[in-house]
Chain A
Amino acid sequence: MTTDTTLAGTASTGAALAVSASGVGKVFPAKAGDVTALTGVDLEVRAGEFVSLIGPSGCGKSTLLRLIADLDEATAGTLTIFGKPARRARIDQDYGIAFQQAGLLPWRTVADNIALPLELHKVPKPDRARRVAELAELVGLSDFVDRYPDQLSGGMQQRVAIARALAASPKLLLMDEPFGALDEMTREYLQGELTRIAAETGAAVVFVTHSIPEAVFLSDRVVVMSPRPGRITEVIETGLGPVRDEALRETPAYFAKVTEVREALHGAPTQRANER
């Protein structure tokens, strides 16, 4: 219950932004000279908004996610999550996180894996069991709660990881290429599931991907990034509305946005200018 009051408290102080970054940079010190992974990042993610970070490898999209999650520390700029410093937000469990590898603990059942964040925060056992049942239902794994991760397919493992990320009812979900290692069919299915889950929970999502169709299908906004040094080059509103179903994948508006993101990624307009 304390979490609810804190959230309400921050909301009333006017921090409707899930993520607010201004001038954020990250330099990794290295023997051969410092490596600038990220520079001058200005980004605002509104509460409940779905934002994808897309770009080629080395563009710093995962680094940015790790800074938001306070898994690494920014070396420049200011970064706040729901109006708090990233570190505070991590300790307060304001976000849930899922990685490319499901990262389930192999010695724990599905239920115990989902319950891990609750267990770490000393949520009483009956509450934990109730929440796990809810979450298993949400990700469609109610029949598998007693299984172990090695008995699940990759897609199912990833669904467990999403349920775990949602365990503490965070208002922000951070996802680092969660479907990157899955086959195309499972991937599209889980994309649909994710939009449904995000809508049901009302959580903001920051989603790192290197798939253009995935970014467009899922997002309200697609943040296009570019490497050396990692930075944001363009932000594209998809304007595809709240309903994200399989039919959307066939619409001209969707194709148009895919093309727009692709051109932003490859810098196509400049090339055209050269051809002229």
Chain B
Amino acid sequence: MRGAVPTGWLRIAAPIVVGVLGAFAWALYVEFGDAPRALPGPADVASEFVLRWGIIWDEMLITATNAAIGLAVGTVLAVILAGLSATWRPIDGMLAPLVAALAVIPIVAITPILNTMFGASSQFGRQAVATIAAFIPVFVNVLRGLRQTRPVHRDLLRASAATGGQTFRKLTLPTAVPYLMTGVRVAASLAVISALVAEYFGGPADGVGTSIATFAKSGRASLAWAYVGGGILIGLAFFLVTALIERIVTRHAPD
């Protein structure tokens, strides 16, 4: 279906045109339609965004830091536990149901408990939520990846008299890397969403989520939307960074 993908300038121009048309329709609707009061025009949102960039950036840093810590800790934990699960069946037996249980709880549901547990002045609850959210896709993918070694490669390592540790380092782990990257890419957006949404359920009075809630309630819709823009930027940044890492790491990955 390569032919169906537009090439060159069209690939860049097409989404921009759609975006501009959308913004134009939005502006017209706000100006002449019966738009609700909470929906400001795009120009208002943009001017708030530029005007308040300083404070938006500060709040973005807080939410992004929480998400990044959650992503990093969740990934490391997931890789370690997946490694143990792949090596020792009993551990797999113990962990599999727990992870399945974790995966079906809406993580934000436990946020109020965590926030209360760790106090209103600590970011820890939010980071913990992001950690759990990031952990699951990484764990599931890495565990799968650790079981993808090809028979011919296993034979080769055995024929070369490789030790168990060598086989793990030189074969099992590298084979799992593309799966790890897929997991991290999924986990990145989940970590951002969780870190942001967790702010709606208490904890310190900062972060993009808290600001959106505060300004939406106090009737400053344009500023609330400007913060939404900040949230989108965080998500984009996480996506781009993880996609870039994935691309570099999996350049010569097995098909």
Contacts and interface: CB of A to CB of B under 8 A. Distances in A.
A148 interface: yes
Contact of A106 (B152, B161, B252): B252
A99 interface: yes
Contacts of B159: 69-71, 90, 95, 97
B160 interface: yes
A178 to B, nearest CB: 12
Contact of A120 (B150, B155, B160, B252): B160
Nearest to B251: A148
Interface in B198-255: 251-254
Interface in A92-118: 92-93, 95, 97, 99, 101, 103, 105-107, 116-117
A120 B166 contact: yes
B156 A120 contact: no
A105 B166 contact: no
A237 interface: no
Interface string A143-160: 000001110000000000
Interface string A54-90: 0000000000000001110000000000000000001
Contacts of A185: none
User: Max chain B CB contacts within 10 Å: which of A92, A99, A106?
Assistant: A106
A93 B155 CA distance: 14
B30 interface: no
A93 B150 contact: no
A247 interface: no
B150 A103 contact: yes
A91 interface: yes
B166 A103 contact: no
Contacts of A99: 152, 155-156
A149 B177 CA distance: 17
A71 B153 contact: no
Interface string B137-178: 000000000000010110111111110001000110010010
Given A101-B152, A116-B170, A120-B166, A93 B161 contact: yes
A132 B33 CA distance: 74
B18 to A, nearest CB: 36
Nearest to A161: B156
A6 B131 CA distance: 54
Contacts of A119: 170
B20 to A, nearest CB: 41
B174 A116 contact: no
Interface string B71-111: 00000000000000000000000000000000000000000
B161 A91 contact: yes
A71 B158 contact: yes
A116 B169 CA distance: 12
A69 B159 CA distance: 7
Given A71-B155, A105-B153, A105-B171, 11 more contacts: A70-B159, A93-B160, A93-B161, A97-B155, A97-B156, A99-B155, A103-B153, A106-B252, A107-B252, A116-B170, A117-B160
Listed from nearest, the 3 A-B pairs whose CB atoms lie closest are: A103-B152, A148-B252, A97-B159
23 contacts: A70-B158, A70-B159, A90-B158, A92-B161, A93-B160, A97-B156, A101-B152, A103-B153, A103-B156, A105-B153, A105-B170, A106-B252, A107-B174, A107-B177, A107-B252, A117-B160, A119-B170, A120-B160, A120-B162, A120-B170, A121-B161, A148-B251, A149-B252
Interface of A: 69-71, 90-93, 95, 97, 99, 101, 103, 105-107, 116-117, 119-121, 148-150
